[in-house]
Amino acid sequence: MKLKKGFVVREVCAQKVIVAEGLEAVDFGKLLSLNDSAAFVWQLAEKQGDFTVESLASAFCKEYETDEKTAQNDVKELLEKWQKLGVIE
Amino acid sequence: MKTTEYYKVAEHVFSVSAESFFDNYKPFLTEKVSKPLFSLEIFNESFSANFTEEISQEEEGQRIVCGHTEEGKSVFEFWLENKKAGVLISQSDFQNNVLYVEKGFEKFSTDNALMIVFALSTASKSTLLFHSSVIAYGGKGYMFLGKSGTGKSTHSRLWLQNVLGARLLNDDNPVVRIFSEEIKVFGSPWSGKTNCYKNEELPLGGIVLLSQAKYNKISELKGIQAYAALIPSISGKRWDKVLADNLHKSETVIIEKIKMWHLECLPDNNAAILCKNTISCN
């Protein structure tokens, strides 16, 4: 999977939000707020470019104290949400 | 014969060279300066620009096609009801700009070109061109935001009819400028269909996002919700990273310092009274 182009992370009142600023996403018309761990997953996804649930979960475990299985479930849930919102493809 | 006039909007001076000028700019006339923020030269002739399209945005029968030429100049083509109205060609820093106007679309093209160049060249100077209707009341300016057709102008009318001392400052495109000590809202030469071109400034007292409802209810907007209300109401090419960064900076200052509300409302007197009682007491 990949992050769609045109989305940037902004900080608003100490919270991270995904804003559609690029040409590719001007019609998105929504903001997506992220908690710290979701923002970290977004960062990992940006870094990896082409990613999977497993690749993100394993990178996530290196930073957060959680077991691989829980991380996989959490990441999977998050990516399903992002897929529905149309910010990943 | 072409002459040059200088205008001051929100304390930014720009120049326009043209054969004729429009009345909505008159209140903003100012003395010549050696270095205006930007200049626009207008040619009353047809022109076909050779450019690569980046995006086309349409609203209420108006279309703006944005792109760039091979040499990196920005191009904006204006269309009104499927007729070409003009082409704006700007250097990448928007200091020098040229507008070619089709016959019959002189004011439409001039207003659009100046709004675009103004918004893009002042974004780095803590200045924002809003899509909003603004009421002056009690020595402060209150801005109403909302999608086209929500009833911003209607809500302003309801203030004028129901609130003693309320005046209209601008009905469509006010300018907000952030100064170190305060945030001000300014009238502008652009006010949509309403003839209201006031060269006046007021401290910004509050911002109200309007949405249509079957009842009247007002609640405070904070943080991300306030930010989300601002973004679609501010002009700018957000796909230009530098511009987007500048807009974002100004937007975060506004949500920190200015009170914002969400008014779900009917187009009735009570909506204006509820709004006034809530926001002018804060």
Contact B244 A17 (CB under 8 A): no
Contacts of A56 (CB under 8 A, 6+ apart): A41, A44, A45, A48, A75, A79
Q: What is the pLDDT of residue B282?
A: 57
Residues B69 and B180 in one domain: no
Question: Where residue B193 sits, what CATH number does that domain have?
Answer: 3.40.50
Q: Which of B72, B104, B125 is the last residue of a domain?
A: B125
Q: Which of B125, B158, B184 is the last residue of a domain?
A: B125
Contact A21 B239 (CB under 8 A): yes
Distance CA A31, CA A10 (A): 10
Q: Count of residues for chain A?
A: 89
Nearest-Cα distance to chain B for A1, in Å, is 23
Q: What is the pLDDT of residue A22?
A: 87
Within 10 Å of residue A76's Cβ, how many Cβ atoms? 14
Residues B117 and B132 in one domain: no
Residues B229 and B146 in one domain: yes
CA-based nearest residue in chain B for residue A14: B223
Per-position b or e across B176-193, b if 16+ CB within 10 A of its CB: bbbeeeebbbbbbbbbbe
Contact A22 B248 (CB under 8 A): no
Question: What ipTM did this prediction achieve?
Answer: 0.82
Question: What is the band of A87 on the pLDDT scale with cuts at 50, 70, 90?
Answer: very high
CA-based nearest residue in chain B for residue A27: B57
Q: B243 lies in which domain range?
A: 128-279
Domain ranges of chain A: 7-85
Q: What's the whole-number mean pLDDT along residues B101-130?
A: 96
Q: Which of B125, B158, B191 is the last residue of a domain?
A: B125
CB contact residues (below 8 A), chain A span 54-83, against chain B = none
- Is B254:B176 a contact under the CB 8 Å cutoff? yes
pLDDT tens, B168-204?
Answer: 999 999 999 999 999 999 999 999 888 999 999 999 9
**B240-244 long-range Cβ contacts below 8 angstroms, 24+ apart:** B241/A21, B242/B124, B243/B120, B243/B123, B243/B124, B244/A8, B244/A21
Distance CA B246, CA B94 (A): 15
pLDDT tens, A34-63?
Answer: 999 999 999 999 999 999 999 999 999 988
Count of structural domains within chain B: 2
pLDDT tens, B74-84?
Answer: 999 999 999 99
Contacts of B32 (CB under 8 A, 6+ apart): B4, B6, B15
Mean pLDDT estimate for chain A: 91
pLDDT tens, B83-94?
Answer: 999 999 999 889
Handedness of CA B214, B152, B239, B110 (dihedral sign): positive
Contacts of B150 (CB under 8 A, 6+ apart): B210, B211, B212
Residues B121 and B197 in one domain: no
